[in-house]
Amino acid sequence: MPDLHTQDGIALHVHDWPVPNGVARRGALLLVHGLGEHSGRYDHVAAALGAEGVFVRSWDQRGFGRSAGKRAVLPHPEALLDDARLVYDALAADARAAGDDAPPFLLGHSMGGAVAARAATGGWIAPRGLVLSSPALRARTTLSQRVQLAVGRRLMPTLAVPNGLSVDALSRDPATIAAYKADALVHDRVTPRLAQFILDAGAQAIADAPRLRVPTLLLVAGSDRIVDAGGARAFAAALPDGVGTLHVYDALYHEIFNEREPDRGRVLGDLGAWVAERIAGQLAGARAR
């Protein structure tokens, strides 16, 4: 698909994964990547969903990957949410044109999980189902870091600095770490405004979770050293009865879709099974009506 352009003129690089030949299309899903990375790292996730008949779209968020914009710079705090709605609405329109009238699913990983959770709880997007992978709903920050963030947000909100992420804590798979380090589209920048957005989006999503009625799957790394997994647990606990499904993988690191086998396959299997179950249940409900 061609790039999409935001209201402020940023070209967003869009990546599509059509359903494989011979597989009936049963839905669509928008995938939101995490901090520092890009949509091209999710081929295997899209393949697992494609096997279930799900057309997958993602995009490089502004300031990341192949999209335009200064690295990690937001013009205003809600820019990523507005961008997500733009891409989601375009996907929904394309799905309807293809004969798929159901709203797309929404999946977010890490920072993308904060974007997806806030978009769903705050009314930017009304998805068919919500999936959060190691979502950044709570950050691991010290008091000193919070003070520095507060000062930076007021004085230099768009100053890009190293994000401080420990690359070796992303996955226990050496090949994943090597590929991440060699990926020219990955960068390590963050700005005070972006960091504050992530903190605020996570906190507000948890606060608003009791009002969410969208079926939600949380896939949580139990040994996550990048984000505080307690945020995902709190979000799951706050959801209304029957809305949420929580899977905690005790020994896995942050990038649960990029862990060593057989763990990677187990996580992708849980994702595919949940999406397939939602599709089957919704189709059965539609037939009953």
Which residues are designated catalytic?
110, 224, 254
Q: Please give the Cα distance from 75 to 96 (Å, whole number).
A: 32
Burial class (CB in 10 A: 0-12, 13-18, 19+), 164: exposed
Q: Are 139 and 114 in contact (CB under 8 A)?
A: no
Which has the closest alpha carbon to 29: 1, 59, 57? 57
Which has the closest alpha carbon to 163: 185, 134, 135, 194? 194
DSSP 248: E
Q: Whose structure tokens read 């494989």?
A: 20
Q: Please give the Cα distance from 31 to 112 (Å, whole number).
A: 8
Structure tokens at 258: 């990029």
Task: Count the Cβ atoms, other than its own, within 10 Å of residue 62.
Answer: 25
Q: Please give the Cα distance from 189 to 167 (Å, whole number).
A: 13
Q: Please give the Cα distance from 267 to 249 (Å, whole number).
A: 8
